[in-house]
Structures are given as structure tokens and as C-alpha cells.
A and B are shown apart, each in its own frame.
Chain A
Amino acid sequence: MDVQYYERLRLPRSIVVRFPYGRPFGREHEPDNQRVVLEHCLRLLESARGPTVEPLPYRWRREDWTAVLASLHSR
């Protein structure tokens, strides 16, 4: 499903990931991957001022999740 699909649903806030179906928060046994997605959810909860669809740029299998998480926390 892509961004247009979520826009059509008019949800208050959506995070869209390009992960295989069945792993919305990320890969199994990759807690840093899951922490990154969850942190984006929390940030969107706080920052959205109206209905928002936010696609995440991450690629399945190709990220160093510990580094991504560290850089997210430094922002």
C-alpha cells in the first residue's frame, strides 16, 4: 500500500513503511529497527497539526538500525 492509499483513508496520522507485510514495526529480533519506527510514530503524534501521512525513507535489509536510531535521537 502506498501513500495515496493512506491519504484516502483520512486517518489522523499515518506512518508508511516499505517493509514486507506483516512487519509494520520492522524485522523480527531487530529491536533497534522497531525502536526507530516507534519513535517516528511518537514524533508524529506530537508534531502533527492536522491529518498527516508520513512515508519513512528506510529500506528493508539495508539499514544499520543502531546508527539510524542514534542519529534519530540526536535530532
Chain B
Amino acid sequence: MTAGDDTADGRGDDADAVDSEASTGDAAGVDGRTDIDTHQSSEFDDGRVDVEDDADAVPLGESQTLDPAVRFYWIVRSVIRAATLAVVALLFATVLNQTILPLPVRTVTVTVFALFATLGVARSVLRYGSWAYAIREESLFLRRGVFTQVQTVVPYVRVQHIDTRRGAVERLFGLSSLVVYTAGSRGADVTIPGLSPARASSLQTRLKHLAIESEEEDAV
């Protein structure tokens, strides 16, 4: 026995423990699934997921939408963006007005603001409609995109770690995002925005368990 093998053995034991736990959990998960099909009960808690609120548990394989509040968050964000652009337009138009081109400064500013705000609001609403995610048996599935529709499949085997994030404005709206990291080089992080904090942390725990369940030596 070498020192290196000792640690390897230790790891193996851990993995075994997790496996047995996971397999019991699996059985519970199957039960939970059938239950959820008949009545949307809170029995989905399969014993592994320490959810703070049972209503926040995500049923397996069902398409989920984001928290409707995220629309308002996106709308506020796009209005702020439109306002910023309007200010830039105002400065630009003023400069132009005084030098080469006599522009109606106020009209330009209002038009820029109205245009971008409308576009932003429309996009926010459409984006909300386009977003869906699902916790499937072996992978996380995301669908999103208004103009370019994107679907992503993240096998749990490949999950490196999972973060929840709450930006300042997001917190005002009582929202949270979940970021899933893989070793992949492109789009190394997969983000689900617009989750209630409780659901975000429940998802985080659940995905963590699913990732451990399907764990490999090395996810690269």
C-alpha cells in the first residue's frame, strides 16, 4: 500500500457511501414522481433534498417556467438601459445641435428612450415566455431565446459545481439565479435566472445530489 492508494481508497469508501445513499434516494424519487403525477402534493421531497419549503421542489421531468416577477426585473433593467441610452443620445444631440447639425434635442431623446424602452419591454415579456427548464433524470434541460432559440442539455455527470447568485436589483424583486458550471470551454456556465431564493437553493441542493449520484472520478 502506498500513501497515494490510501487516499484513493478513502475516496472510494466515500463514493460507496454516497452510492448506497443515492440508491435509496432513487427509490424514493421514483415514488415521489408517481405521486406527483396524480396530485401535486408536497411529497416529492425524497429524503435527500432538504428543501426549506416543499412547494419549491421541482418535479422530475416537468417543464418549469421562471418566476413571473422576473419579467418586472427584466423590464426595469431594460428601462434603465433605455434611460442610459437616452442620456447618451441627449448629450450627442446637444453637441451636434451646437456644431454642425441642428437637431431637435428633446424629440431625439424622447424617441431614443421610447424606442429602446418599448423594445426592451417587449423583449422582456417574450423572453419570459421563451424560458423553460426541466430537471430530467440524467440531465438538466434549458430552453430560452427570443430571436435565436437555444436549448441546452447538461448531463449531471458533467456538473462541476453549482452557485446561486443574487444581484442587487434581483434582490429588490426577491429573485435569485442559479449558475451551473461544467468543465466545458464554451458557455462554461449555464444560468437559470428568475428563481425564488427558496427554489434556487432547493434546485442547488437537488442538482448537487444528482451530480454526486452520477459522479465520476474526474468530470473532465
* Chain B binds chain A: no
Chain A interface (Cβ < 8 Å from any Cβ of B): none
| B contact set with A: CB distance below 8 Å | none
